[in-house]
Amino acid sequence: MRTDSGQVFRLEDYKPSDYLITHTDLLFRLDPTATLVTAKLSVKRRDGVAANAPVVLDGDGLVLESLSINGMPVSDDRYKATPDSLEISGLPQEASFELEIVTRISPVTNKALMGLYQSSGNYCTQCEAEGFRRITYFLDRPDNLSTFTVRIEAKKSEAPVLLSNGNPVEQGSLDSEWHYAVWHDPFPKPSYLFALVAGDLGSIHDTFTTSSGREVALGIYVEHGKEPLATYAMDALKRSMRWDEERFGCEYDLSVFNIVAVSDFNMGAMENKGLNVFNDKYVLADPETATDADYANIEAIIAHEYFHNWTGNRITCRDWFQLCLKEGLTVYRDHEFSADQRSRPVKRIAEVRNLRALQFPEDQGPLAHPVRPRRYKEINNFYTSTVYEKGSEVVRMIHTILGAEQFRAGMDLYFQRHDGQAVTIEDFIACFQEASGRALTHFALWYHQAGTPRVNVTSSYEADTGDFVLNVEQSVPPTPAESMKKPLHIPLAYGLLGPNGEDMEVGSVEGATVADGVIHLTEGSQTVRFRGIGSRPVLSLNRGFSSPIVLKQDLTKEDRLFLARHDSDLYNRWEAINALCVEALIAASTSGSYDFDPALVQCLVEMASNESLEPAYRALALSLPTEADIAREIGSNVNPDAVLAARSALRLAIGSAARDAFGRIYDAQADRQPFSPDAASAGKRSLRNILLDYLVAADGSPELASRQFEAADNMTDRAAALSVLAHQYPQHEATQKALSAFEERFCDNALVMDKWFIIQATIPGAATLDLVRGLTAHPAFSLTNPNRVRSLVGTFASGNQTGFHRADGAGYRFLADTVIALDKHNPQVAARLSTAFRSWRSMEAGRQEKARKALASINEVPNLSRDVKDIVERTLG
Ligand code: ARG
Ligand code: ZN
């Protein structure tokens, strides 16, 4: 395990390597405890590098078996091998030579799930970011592009299926027991995109014909018996391939594309060239076991990994500081795909809710870092919501600033100019500047400056002149190691609503660049004057959430209700009602008095009943801000118990006021058709299930939820009913009965048991900690499987405000103990889990002190991994 050495990696220290590995020939002789890896590397000294410069290769926990150059063993005095590096000197005078390295590794004992490991008896690899160095010594950095030929030898009984990157070349039998396969990937790639899978797997197959008429063989490999569960993923893959051709002109390049689902996986999925490896949670689905959210995630992640083929693989990152180059851009692309496949406004609202729930707290807490960080101790800790989601928002802003056409021209130039290269954010931005002829120098600060910008807007209407005047101020609060902030280029899409609710014509504007419905802020303080406005307008600002900012406006309650009813921008209609709810909930939780404005309740009921809005949208309007949302808006001295009480009171007030209307809509949305996962059907279910939550609250009885639970013919409705039962009536007999029935029915399905864990881990209240502790001993739970850990412990820590932040600090203690235990075998997941502490300073004083103690107790453990040490130290600040 890599412990903390105090080493910090800095962007400004980037230096190309002295040598390149241009071709990599690998031979794997697979064995659970003693796999032999023979790497034949074509090494090339770069021009201008002295002939006596040593080759220094990365390793991680490796044992060297043998070493030769151009077929001759290397004498002991010419190399130094440690588990973490291999340095060879006295190299041939010629600029090119062949290096052969043999290492021995043990996949079965690899519980960190990086490098080559076993999952359910199948061999698989995960190499991003620095896992390849756990397989062989290598230039394990993304700017070393190498072609790969891979020969896998394995026992036929153990691994009938042998897969690697690229195209299949050859396969055959070695003797009665062993066989082999050879794969060749002609596209030069960095080592993080290497993959190998070998095992006894079932599969489904299909084909895709690309825009230029080439046929691609598609395969999805899963555990035997699960083949039918992969058909939705296959369909999503084909739709992704078509969409990328139509939208971005990106055509697939190999003759095969394979996906493998594994059950032990540290993250969502991985875009290895031609051989994506997935967490099975994001492949397997049928109506019995998967929710609508699962289907949507599968579609999005299949697309995401596929899209990486161009944004990540054909064009990759020069170094890991550039991670957002591939991730932010690819998230943007998968968001656009989902918006096109489903509903654009619904998708946008979900994105913003997610951004605020995950990225905002990161950007406003001790782990804040720029979209392109300048330093790191452990790169695995930078696969963050800031790099991914804020990275995507930055690309979206480029689209907003340039418009669709120039944006596409910039992308085209990027693909054309940098295909086959490892590049930087500067290279990326230059393409948009050149293609559009517009300067993005100021805009680029979004990549370099951490923190969520605050924009404060006050407005006045001058009736005598017909001027509508905005005073706009922007600022970015200080973040760790960055106290001085500069104003950003913030594109604010906007509209002015007239008294009839329609957008007014806007004449001339002074004080800022305004074009195509977008105000471009560039200064700390600006006055924007709209001329010739006939009557006082209502301002709809940051439409579509055009910039990822915290916006404070001087809108009145009536203005917001007006926007919620009339804004032509559906995103801002939702934002208006959401802002009203947040405001009401903050007031209620700080005052403890729960008399909610009937006008707010009335507006929500209207939106729920408005047939001109699609059901999924109406469901979002009715989804109250979460406890974490409210806590974040309160910002400091948070008492989670008061927040929960206020939220429950508002739910009850709305449910009671609208009991009859909601009951009618609930009945009307019932689907008499056979289950279909399409967006429209899913939207109906989401509306019905949010209404169920209100109805059960208003009824004061679990009856309706029990009925839905028993009648459900799909997992969406079943899990929603179980969740309402457990969260509203945790002690009720009906809940206990439903939980047991669910457990009995699905105890053999690990992914479904995850839902059972999640529902229980998120039951509000102090008592849940003991429940969660008890569940860690459940036969379906395992500390070595990341999905189980995330479902039970991760969800408890990040999704249960009153449970995790228990006043006595026992929730913090529990998380600390779990992080310490997990760190011994899986540092990456342990580090991710420990980020749940990041908002500890926003709690009231008593809880803060207890959280600090729990963090300090982790920090004191000897031999902590570099991963956990880095997070804990930064969180303590
Ligand atoms: N590149 C993968 C993706 O599609 C994720 C890899 C995550 N790696 C890690 N070390 N956390 O987003
Ligand atoms: Zn990605």
CA distance 630 to 641: 12
pTM above 0.95, yes or no: yes
CA distance 239 to 208: 10
Give domain limits for the chain: 1-200, 201-314, 323-448, 454-547, 553-700, 747-877
Assigned CATH class of 553-700: mainly alpha
Q: Which of 80-84, 665-669, 688-692, 777-781 has the lowest mean pLDDT?
A: 665-669
CB contact burial 140-166 (16+ within 10 A = b; e otherwise): bbbbbbbbbbbbbbbeeebbebbbbbb
Tell me how crowded residue 672 is: count the other CB atoms within 10 A of its CB.
Answer: 4
> What tens digit of pLDDT does each residue of 63-72 get?
999 999 999 9
Chain mean pLDDT for the chain:
98
**pLDDT attached to residue 27:** 99
DSSP 516: T
Q: Which ligand is nearest to the CA of 192?
A: 1
DSSP string, 754-778: HHHHHHHHT--STTHHHHHHHHTTS
Give, using CA atoms, the residue closest to atom 1 of ligand 1: 270
Average pLDDT over every residue of 832-837: 98
How many angstroms is it from 489 CA to the middle of ligand 1?
30
Assigned CATH class of 201-314: alpha beta
* C-beta separation of 152 from 240 below 8 A: no
Q: Given the residues 305, 327, 389, 393, select the one marked as catalytic.
A: 305
pLDDT at 861 over 90: yes
Residue 128, ligand 1, Cβ within 6 A? yes
> What tens digit of pLDDT does each residue of 301-334 get?
999 999 999 999 999 999 999 999 999 999 999 9
* C-beta separation of 55 from 91 below 8 A: yes
Residue 221, ligand 1, Cβ within 6 A? no
How many angstroms is it from 169 CA to the middle of ligand 1?
28
CA distance 69 to 80: 15
* C-beta separation of 815 from 854 below 8 A: yes
pLDDT at 18 over 90: yes
Complex ipTM value: 0.98
* 1-200 carries CATH number 2.60.40.1730: yes
**pLDDT attached to residue 258:** 99
Mutational test site, ligand 1, from 127, 270, 376, max ligand atoms within 8 Å of CB: 270
How many angstroms is it from 594 CA to the middle of ligand 2?
44
**pLDDT attached to residue 507:** 85
- Ligand 1 atom nearest 301 alpha carbon: 4
Residue 867, ligand 1, Cβ within 6 A? no
Average pLDDT over every residue of 431-453: 98
CA distance 504 to 506: 6
> What tens digit of pLDDT does each residue of 332-352 get?
999 999 999 999 999 999 999
Q: Are 201-314 and 323-448 in the same CATH fold?
A: no
323-448: CATH architecture: Orthogonal Bundle (1.10)
pLDDT at 625 over 80: yes
CA distance 177 to 200: 15
In three-state secondary structure terms, 798 is helix
> What tens digit of pLDDT does each residue of 222-273 get?
999 999 999 999 999 999 999 999 999 999 999 999 999 999 999 999 999 9
**pLDDT attached to residue 563:** 98
Q: In this prediction, what percent of the chain has a pLDDT beyond 90? A: 99
CA distance 760 to 96: 60
Residue 311's nearest CA partner among 293, 335, 294 is 335
Tell me how crowded residue 842 is: count the other CB atoms within 10 A of its CB.
Answer: 18
Residue 589's nearest CA partner among 555, 560, 632 is 632
305 is catalytic: yes
Strands 275-279, 256-262: pairing is: parallel
Strands 422-423, 316-317: pairing is: parallel
Third-level CATH fold of 747-877: Zincin-like fold (1.25.50)
CA distance 869 to 346: 39
In three-state secondary structure terms, 541 is strand
Average pLDDT over every residue of 91-120: 98
If phi over 0 gives left and psi between -120 and 50 gives alpha, with beta otherwise, what is residue 467? beta
> What tens digit of pLDDT does each residue of 366-419 get?
999 999 999 999 999 999 999 999 999 999 999 999 999 999 999 999 999 999
Which residues are found with C-beta within 5 Å of the ion, ligand 2? 327, 330
- Strand-pair partners of 179: 154, 173
**pLDDT attached to residue 847:** 98
> What tens digit of pLDDT does each residue of 27-46 get?
999 999 999 999 999 999 99
Question: For residues 608, 612, 615 and 620, what is the CA-based torsion angle, rounded to 10 degrees?
Answer: -60
Q: Could you tell me which residues come within 8 angstroms of residue 476 by beta carbon, excluding any fewer than 6 positions away?
A: 449, 451, 452, 453, 454, 485, 486, 488
* C-beta separation of 347 from 338 below 8 A: yes
Q: In this prediction, what percent of the chain has a pLDDT beyond 70? A: 100
Q: Could you tell me which residues come within 8 angstroms of residue 743 by beta carbon, excluding any fewer than 6 positions away?
A: 753, 756
CA distance 521 to 470: 12
pLDDT at 671 over 80: no
In the CATH scheme, what is the code of domain 454-547?
2.60.40.1840
Q: Could you tell me which residues come within 8 angstroms of residue 315 by beta carbon, excluding any fewer than 6 positions away?
A: 326, 414, 415, 418, 419, 420, 421, 423
Residue 661's nearest CA partner among 701, 615, 708, 604 is 604
Q: Could you tell me which residues come within 8 angstroms of residue 225 by beta carbon, excluding any fewer than 6 positions away?
A: 202
Our separate counts of H helices and E strands in the chain read 29, 33
Residue 271, ligand 1, Cβ within 6 A? yes
**pLDDT attached to residue 1:** 83
CA distance 717 to 702: 15
Greatest Cα-to-Cα distance within the chain, rounded to the nearest angstrom = 95
Task: Tell me which residue has tokens 């395969």.
Answer: 219
Q: CA 194, 30, 222 angle in degrees (round to 5)?
A: 65
Give, using CA atoms, the residue closest to atom 4 of ligand 1: 270
* C-beta separation of 331 from 392 below 8 A: yes
pLDDT at 424 over 90: yes
Residue 189's nearest CA partner among 305, 56, 312 is 312
